Structure 1
Amino acid sequence: MSKHALLSPSSSHRWLNCPPSLRLGQKYDDTTSSYAAEGTEAHLLGEYKLKTLLGMRAKDPTANLEYYNEEMEECAESYATYILELLEDAKTRCSDPLILIEQRLDYSKYAEGGYGTGDCIIVSDDTLHVIDYKHGTGILVDANDNSQMKLYGLGALELFDGIYDIETVSMTIYQPRRNNISTFTLSKNELYKWANEVLIPTAKLALDGEGEFKCGDWCVFCKSKHECRHRAEYNLELAKYEFKLPPILEDEDVEEILSKIDELVSWASNIKDYALQSALRGKQWHGFKLVEGRSNRKYINEEEVIKLVKTNGYDPYDHKIKGITAMEKTLGKARFSELLSDLVEKPKGKPTLVPESDKRPAINTAVDDFKEN
């Protein structure tokens, strides 16, 4: 049996928006990364911490964790504490709430062969709460209308709807390294409505290799992103502007380009990476060749360098204060906050133009300030 379902929760954002990508991606080998491995280990540690806190027997995995560090320890402990707080809150509404850890959740009733693993499930009378731990820092994960979380919710309902009088499904993303706790709540009937009207027909299209190709942020994790013709055509639409300077373009033209520019940059980067990796395997690209890139000098033997520099009366070391991240890792988050919170500030970030859907508040420009005065 495959380790992951074909219609998996983690890839659902992609196959629900671009159904044909499911079958298209099958011709590519599965790959992993150090980030994924680190995330898996963080889940193992979090599971152990939570079970220990709940008085369950569990084996400490720390000795076998390749990516274990103080930050992972703190994240796992904070996750376990957060779940315990949710459980205590559930007890205020239910005398004996049920908690399940690393529970298999099957939603194959709606998407053939579909299943996943819920990090934590809490059932308390009329409320079903699904919690998913995210260890990554690259992408801030939002629980709002999150398809992965809704699939977990459906799988959990398959287990408990009928046994409990569930009316509400809450879904929470716990992402400690981004200081992100995001919760999305909807009624059981709303979730079933989504399953019947959206999930069932789209999952069938995906399995049949049918439906329309569609580009979006879900392309980032698509196996065929380097060679997808639809993605290429979508991004090359910008060529109609012939890369004219902005003053020549109408406002509507600039706005259309802005809406696509991030995807265009991502696509171009993917193409360059694909072409390079193919060339390294022997592929010949007409008009291009492999050369050595720029490199920096490095010491062959640092200990010998230190010895010789000291012998000649010089200091080989660069003495400076640790950066905030390094200092926080040295002291630990709690001790760092205790000692240095009054000596750390976060300056305003550099202005950047983003879509209106971005959650960050808009900043005032000089023109706005003038109007207010």
Structure 2
Amino acid sequence: MKFVLFANTDWYLYNFRLSTALRLKADGHEVVMLSPPGAFGARFASHGLRWVTLPMDRASLNPLREAATWWHLARLLRRERPDLLHSFTVKCAIYGALAARVARVPAVVNAVAGMGYVFTSDGAKARALRPLVKLLLRMTLGHRRSLLILQNPDDAAAFSDARLIAPERVRMIRSSGVDTSRFRPADPAATTGGRLRVLLAARLLWEKGIQEFVDAAEHLRAQGRDVEFVLAGTPDPGNPRSATQADAQGWNDAGLVTWLGHVDDMPSLLRTVHVMVLPSYYREGVPKSLIEAAACGLAIITTDLPGCREVVTEHGSDGLRVAPRDALALAQRIGMLDDDRALLERLGRCARQRALSDFDERLVIQRTVDVYGELLSSADRQRQHALRAAKYPPKPLIR
């Protein structure tokens, strides 16, 4: 069979869906990775995967440009003739579902990790777009040959309450998974004691709690604490709520954070820090940074909000929770772990166990493949029924 995995960046496909593509390839299927052009796409070839580019600007609102993007996508799918299209993010789900109907793709899986900018921002542009996006989602998600994958029950309730899709068309798969053999704890002797190192790894979006992270660093420095704040990630020019490179460089130059920019080798970085912080008030699916940190046995501090609470299920058990937009409370939580290294280690051990039981990518990939099988078996039954109907048409009634 042939599968097309479609996302709005090659970075997302490479970092979040490469393992799924390799599993499909190992099972003997053909896999095509589809995204706009980018710096990561060329890496697929080294894994034996084909990458096809689409002229798509994920931040564009120009109707003519968007119509051209959809037309290119429909033509591409008609040429590739996949058995199944798996689209990621809201925009790709809408465009992919509409193009798949024109191209007669037998099965479509849509995956939405978090509600995204249009549903979470209070900005004028987001509010103006929201009714249109809701209408398009209602038109595209509920097709009988498609299923929607969501990552947390809060999003499932939100989609259902807004009548965007019938609950029976939704499948829940918590996170995109993590390779727990690659993301593993460091030798305890290497991280026990010494200066506390706290990491935030994310796109530099304000809603990820970037400002609160910087403010917490300032609070603790004013108290005379020797805690290192490490920031890994780059600005996202396609998102109107992104910090700039100048912002990040300014924090670095002021000595508030150590800004690393993009980091390729996250397992190595995670084995050098003690705490992962994500003070997000973004509508997350299940944050990749948190499950990677959990797999590495780090103590986690995050907010009690959708997606984040899928990782830290109970405050004080498998991590610590903090109220959103509260830099002082975040600083207090970090100070608590700086003072209580036994708590730091216990939270890390519990986080690792949770990653092994719930977020191991082998479990996640198998659940995803099961969703594919569910749709493809249905599509196959429909094709067989159509073939039988064509071969044995009903006899006319004799009057």
Q: TM above 0.5, one fold?
A: no
Give me the TM-score of the superposition, normalised by structure 1: 0.24
| Structure number with bigger Rg | 1
| Higher RCO (Cα < 8 Å, 6 or more apart) | 1
Give me the TM-score of the superposition, normalised by structure 2: 0.23
More strand by share: 2
